[in-house]
C-alpha cells in the first residue's frame, strides 16, 4: 500500500532542534558519500517547490486561518509551535491621495533610478584597456564583479 503524502509529512521534523538534527544527519550522509548527492539535491529542490506551492495556496491559507480562529485567541501554542493571528504584508496605495509632492517625488525617483541604471550599464561596458574619464578628468575604472558558481536545479 502506498504511503499518503500527509503521512510522509508527519515523518519530517517538527521542532527547531529536530530540524537541526535532521539537517545535520542529511549533511553527514552527503559528506560521507552514503547518498547520491545529485539525487539528494534534486529531492531538496523538489521539496522546496512543494513547500512553496502549499504555503502560497490561498485555499490552504484560508483553512489554516479558519482553524486557528477556532482557538479563540490571537496567540497560542500547539504542535511544538506558537501560532499568531495577525495582519501581515500591509500595503498602501498612495496613488489615490492626490498629493502632488508624493507624485513629484515618485517621478524624481523613477528618473534617478533610470539614470543610475543607464550609467551602470555604461560602466559595465568599460574594459581595462579603455581610457574613459569622468567630468573631473579622473580615469574611470571597471566595476568589480562578484559572483558565486552554483548548480541550478530545474525540475522537469
Q: What is the pLDDT along the chain (156 residues), one digit of tens a residue?
A: 568 888 888 899 999 999 999 999 999 999 999 999 999 999 999 999 999 999 999 999 999 999 999 999 999 999 989 999 999 999 999 999 999 999 999 999 999 999 999 999 999 999 999 999 999 999 999 999 999 999 999 988
This prediction has a pTM of 0.74
- In 3D space, the residue among 81, 88, 47, 53 whose CA is nearest the CA of residue 67 turns out to be 81
Sign of CA dihedral 46, 47, 48, 52: positive
How crowded is the C-beta side of 104, counted as CA atoms within 13 Å? 3
Q: For residues 87 and 73, give the distance between their C-alpha atoms in angstroms, rounded to a whole number.
A: 14
Phi, psi of 7 (to 5 degrees): -65, -30
Amino acid at each position: 500500500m502506498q504511503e499518503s503524502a500527509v503521512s510522509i509529512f508527519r515523518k519530517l521534523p517538527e521542532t527547531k532542534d529536530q530540524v537541526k538534527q535532521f539537517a545535520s544527519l542529511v549533511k553527514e550522509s552527503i559528506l560521507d558519500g552514503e547518498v547520491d548527492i545529485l539525487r539528494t539535491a534534486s529531492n531538496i529542490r523538489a521539496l522546496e517547490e512543494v513547500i512553496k506551492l502549499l504555503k502560497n495556496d490561498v485555499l490552504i491559507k484560508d483553512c489554516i486561518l479558519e482553524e486557528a480562529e477556532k482557538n479563540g485567541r490571537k496567540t497560542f501554542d500547539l504542535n511544538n509551535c506558537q501560532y499568531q493571528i495577525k495582519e501581515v504584508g500591509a500595503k498602501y496605495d498612495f496613488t489615490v491621495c492626490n498629493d502632488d509632492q508624493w507624485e513629484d517625488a515618485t517621478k524624481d525617483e523613477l528618473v534617478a533610478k533610470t539614470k543610475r541604471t543607464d550609467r551602470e550599464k555604461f560602466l559595465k561596458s568599460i574594459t581595462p584597456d579603455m581610457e574613459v574619464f569622468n567630468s573631473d578628468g579622473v580615469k574611470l575604472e571597471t566595476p568589480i564583479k562578484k559572483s558565486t558558481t552554483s548548480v541550478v536545479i530545474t525540475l522537469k
